[in-house]
Amino acid sequence: MRTLPNLSSRHIDHRNYPPGIVYMDGQYLPIREAKISVLDYGFLHSDATYDVVHVWKGAFFRLESHLDRFLRSMEGLHMSIPYNKRQITEILHNCVALSGLRNSYVEFICTRGTSADFSRDPRDAENRFIAFAIPFGSVATGDQLEHGLHIAITDILRIPPASIDPTIKNYHWLDMVKGLYAAYEMGADTALLLDTNGNVAEGPGFNIFAIKNGMVLTPDSGVLLGITRQTIFDICQQTDINCRAQNISINELNAADEVFITSTAGGVMPVTKVDGLPIGSGTIGPLTKHISAIYWQMHNDPRHRDVVIYPDSA
């Protein structure tokens, strides 16, 4: 007779997790103990939306904008959770405060969740809210931030907006992952995907900007409307730098004087090489440095800060 393996009562993953705190299913947990059902459609179908905000020197940056985008995304996907904006805010604050992290990457997620009897009708599912705070991390490594990133323009198209609304932050990332493998093959650090017209769109978790003759340009459609992207518009407006959202062709990107990418995970990150060839002088451009400096200065502006109250600072 065949012997069955014993069922383990509890599975704890002892792999190397970063420190951090999760809120899910009504409780706060160390991140390594947080588990999700394999029957959650967020996992099975990538049926989920999320947002990422960062905490810098003990305060959230532009939290309100991230919350508004998250709530819009949930609405666009017919999702609802039993928490309003104020309650979500409190949960995010609690995750960061409990983690003790002064610089943190804070992600909050709504998954389609699970449905009774594994019903395939998305309306039957109970949506699940998860939030976590881990150490601040960047799309780019320290070395890449210092010398500039090398990006590859792949021939991979971002999932068309007619299929999935790119302004809803989502986990449909197989195009991005395919792009990353193509980029590594080309000796680059990361990938840029194209829109259905062959213009540049965005990359894995970041928006792209090109500067030509003092004009700052970024794609106007087919991309996630990044909060960092919006912050760049604000900086340009406040400091009289010309800035415009419009189509950018591959040739225009290659011929740019400066290129940078933006994300909550990393801020303003310089690009000095595209497809193996230097952009401008091949070093980090002056306007990129200037905008990046202002971006980090803005983190001290009380209008953009929500201060975290940590247990040990009472």
Residues that bind ligand PLP (CB under 6 A): 52, 169, 202, 205-207, 224, 226-229, 262-264
User: DSSP readout, the chain?
Assistant: -PPPPPPPS-----S-PPS-EEEETTEEEEGGG----TT-HHHHS--EEEEEEEEETTEEESHHHHHHHHHHHHHHTT---S--HHHHHHHHHHHHHHHT-SSEEEEEEEEEEE-GGG-S-GGGSEEEEEEEEEE---SS-HHHHHH-EEEEEEEEEPPPTTTS-TTS-B---HHHHHHHHHHHHTT-SEEEEE-TTSSB-EETTEEEEEEETTEEEE--SSS---HHHHHHHHHHHHTT-EEEE----HHHHHT-SEEEEEETTTEEEEEEEETTEESTTSS--HHHHHHHHHHHHGGG-GGGEEE---GGG-
Rounded to 5°, angle at Cα 53 from 214 and 96: 145
State the minimum distance, in angstroms, from the CB of residue 5 to ligand PLP: 40
- Please list the residues that pair with 106 across neighbouring strands: 53, 133
Closer of 190 and 228 to ligand PLP (Cβ): 228
Helix H or strand E segment including 53 = strand 48-56
Nearest residue (CB) to ligand PLP, 51 versus 258: 51
Name the minimum Å distance from CB 201 to ligand PLP. Answer: 9
| Secondary structure class of 128 (helix, strand, coil) | strand
- Which residue's CB atom is positioned nearest to ligand PLP? 226
CB of 118 to ligand PLP, least distance (A): 29
If the CB atoms of residues 115 and 167 are measured against ligand PLP, the closer one turns out to be: 167
Residue 120 Cβ vs ligand PLP, minimum distance, rounded to whole Å: 27
DSSP secondary structure of 247-293: ---HHHHHT-SEEEEEETTTEEEEEEEETTEESTTSS--HHHHHHHH
Q: Among residues 52 and 96, whose Cβ is nearest to ligand PLP?
A: 52
Q: Which is nearer to ligand PLP, 25 or 165 (CB)?
A: 165
Instruction: Find the shortest distance in angstroms from Cβ 164 to ligand PLP.
Output: 11
Q: How far is the CB of 110 from ligand PLP (least distance, A)?
A: 15
Smaller CB distance to ligand PLP: residue 67 or 227?
A: 227
Residue (224 or 294) nearer to ligand PLP, CB: 224
Question: For residues 208 and 274, which CB has a smaller minimum distance to ligand PLP in the complex?
Answer: 208
Residue 253 CB, nearest approach to ligand PLP (Å): 16
Smaller CB distance to ligand PLP: residue 74 or 98? 74
As measured in angstroms, the least distance from the Cβ of 12 to ligand PLP is 30
Q: At its nearest, how many Å lie between ligand PLP and the CB of residue 263?
A: 4
Q: Which tokens hold the place of 103?
A: 């610089």
